[in-house]
A = this chain, B = another copy of it.
Amino acid sequence: MVETVKKAKILTEALPYIQRFSGKIVVVKYGGSAMTNPELQRQVICDLALMKQVGMLPVVVHGGGKAISGWMEKLGMEPKFHNGLRITDAPAMELTEMVLAGKVNKELVQLFVQSGTKSVGLSGKDAGLLLAEKKQIKGVDLGFVGTVKTVNIEVVKLLLDQGYLPVIAPIGADVDGNSLNLNADEAASAIACALGAEKLVFLTDVDGVLQDPEDPSTLCSSLNRKDALAGMEEGWISGGMIPKIQMCLQALEQGVGQVHMLNGTWDHALLLEIFTDQGIGTMIKEDK
């Protein structure tokens, strides 16, 4: 009984956090280990179901690189990359779409439905959600790799209004109807901007922004635009972190309230970030 009362106390302690974000849209880019480790996946689904139930409006944009690579292997196709971008020829594109929109997406939807959460899976083709164009990089033919041109957000708003949790596969189509493989971070960011989301959360395998990349204890729990620009100039934000930070700053500029980088290998990382004051990753926001 004492145990149960303790639980009740904890529930009521969450009240102010629940009230603060009630009715707010939270777009979560869901990828990395939190997707491939079943226990972590169970926790993410559970955390998002709870966020939905207590009144937040989560939207999930998922990756699926490992599943794609697995299927390419089965088919004897060789994954090729250029600077981290998957070179996607026509057969690879066909497979990528099948895996993302037909397998990963529907598995996630099914997990939500079984957790008692009304959920609908979409690809960027549905209702013309993500109109894209081929990504042009000098000297390399990336194939069917795209970048988002226009977001037609109507169907996502409709589903949110009616109590559904939308789960979105990062597949776009160009004006001729060709499928294009989109970067999930970019798709999530574009959708968060189109929704004017309160929060955009990148659930990945890194802790966030470290002042000294070698030392986890130097994690910045909060970073505003000025800090971020300084970090890039001073060099402690470098390498692959630079385009990520630039995407975050762009999202802030286009009306997203805050952007979070979060290590999904932590238990209940999402809930901790939302329901505690300090959080566990890096929150990036505009200068006051």
Contact = CB atoms under 8 A, between A and B. Distances in A.
A169 to B, nearest CB: 8
Number of copies: 6
Interface stretch (A48-56, A140-148, A182-190, A257-265): A48-56
A116 interface: yes
Contact of A8 (B15, B155, B275): B275
A115 B50 CA distance: 21
Residues of A contacting B: mostly? helix
A224 interface: no
A114 B8 CA distance: 20
A43 B7 contact: no
A103 B94 CA distance: 7
B8 A171 contact: no
A123 interface: yes
A86 interface: no
Interface string A52-92: 01110000000000000000001100000000000000000
A110 B8 contact: no
A155 B272 CA distance: 32
A53 B11 contact: no
A281 interface: no
Contacts of A103: 94, 97-98, 102
Contacts of A162: 158
A282 to B, nearest CB: 16
A99 interface: yes
B12 A11 contact: no
A201 interface: no
A229 interface: no
Contact of A49 (B15, B164, B280): B15
Interface string A94-124: 1001111111011001110111101111110
A159 B164 CA distance: 12
Interface of A: 1, 4-5, 7-16, 18-19, 22, 43, 46-47, 49-50, 53-55, 74-75, 94, 97-103, 105-106, 109-111, 113-116, 118-123, 125-128, 155, 158, 162, 164, 171, 173, 177, 179, 266-268, 271-272, 275-276, 280
Please provide the 7 A-B residue pairs with the shortest distance between their CB atoms, ordered closest to farther: A102-B102, A8-B268, A98-B102, A98-B98, A8-B271, A101-B102, A12-B46
21 contacts: A1-B280, A5-B266, A5-B267, A7-B10, A9-B267, A11-B11, A12-B50, A15-B49, A15-B50, A55-B55, A98-B103, A101-B105, A101-B106, A109-B126, A110-B173, A110-B177, A120-B155, A121-B122, A121-B123, A121-B125, A127-B164
